[in-house]
Amino acid sequence: SAGLAAALMLPASAVRAAVEDKIAEFTGGADAGADGITLTTPEIAENGNTVPIEVEAPGAVEIMVVASANPTPDVARVSFGPLAGAQRLSTRIRLGGTQDVIAVAKMGDGSFRRAANTVKVTIGGCGG
């Protein structure tokens, strides 16, 4: 809704820096590959307050999810134990406006994988 979008008027550069800091803290500054991680999000959020997301990275020990333009970027961090049947998690998140959702996976061999999707948060209201 329009109200949600208005809550987003933080300086873009400050937000971007906070997101990259958050990711660097997780990766220790290591580069992240783009293969071997799948992030599934709706193209357009039906409701910015509850956006379904799913992330899967076979062989990951831990996955971090951040929202690139929320007031604070943190969303969730999941670690997978020995009885995880897959390195996959689905949940629902809040997005204050159109932005990228970013997932970074730490793999068993210490390398990192990264995926990002744009989720649009819209006013809506027309149809064919």
Partner 1 sequence: GDWARLAARQALSQDRLLEFDSFGNVTLIHVTDIHGQLVPVWFREPEVNIGVGAAEGQPPHVTGADFLKLYGIAPGTPEAYALSYVDFVSLARSYGRMGGLDRVATVIKAIRADRPEALLLDGGDTWHGSYTCLRSDAQDMVNAMNLLKPDAMTSHWEFTLGLDRVNEIVEGLDFAFLGANIFDAEWDEPAYEPYRIFERGGAKIAVIGQAFPYLPIANPNWMFPGLSFGVREERMAEMVREVRGKGADLVVVLSHNGFDVDRKMAGSVPGIDVILTGHTHDALPEPVMVGQTLLIASGSNGKFVTRLDLDVREGRMMGFRHKLIPVFSDAIAPDPEMAALIERERAPYRDEMAEVLGTTDGLLYRRGNFNGTWDDLICNALIEEREADIALSPGFRWGPSLLPGEPITREDLYNATAMTYPNAYRSEMTGEMLHTILEDVADNLFNPDPYYQQGGDMVRVGGMGYRIDVTRPQGSRITGMTLLKTGEPIDPARSYVVSGWASVNEGTEGPPIWQVVEDYVKRQGTVRVDPNKSVVVSGA
Partner 2 sequence: MAEGVKARVKAPRTVAAGETVVIKTLISHQMESGQRKDSDGSLIPRSIINRFAVAYNGQNVIDVALAPAISTNPYFEFEAVIPEAGDMVFTWYDDDGSVYEEVKSIAIG
Q: Which residues bind partner 2 (CB under 8 A)?
A: 7, 49-51, 54, 67, 70-72, 74-86, 88-95
- Please, which residue, 110 or 128, has the CB nearer to partner 1? 128
Q: What angle (nearest 5°) sits at the alpha carbon of residue 66, between those of residues 18 and 47?
A: 120
Taking the complex as a whole, how short is the minimal distance between the CB of residue 94 and partner 1, in angstroms? 15
Contact predicate 84/16, CB 8 Å: no
- Tokens 């649009």 sit at which residue? 120
Q: Which of 20, 27, 36, 40 lies at the binding interface for partner 1 (CB under 8 A)?
A: 40
- Tokens 């999941």 sit at which residue? 78
Of residues 84 through 113, those in contact with partner 1 by CB under 8 A are 90, 98
- Please, which residue, 52 or 71, has the CB nearer to partner 1? 52
Contact predicate 88/60, CB 8 Å: no
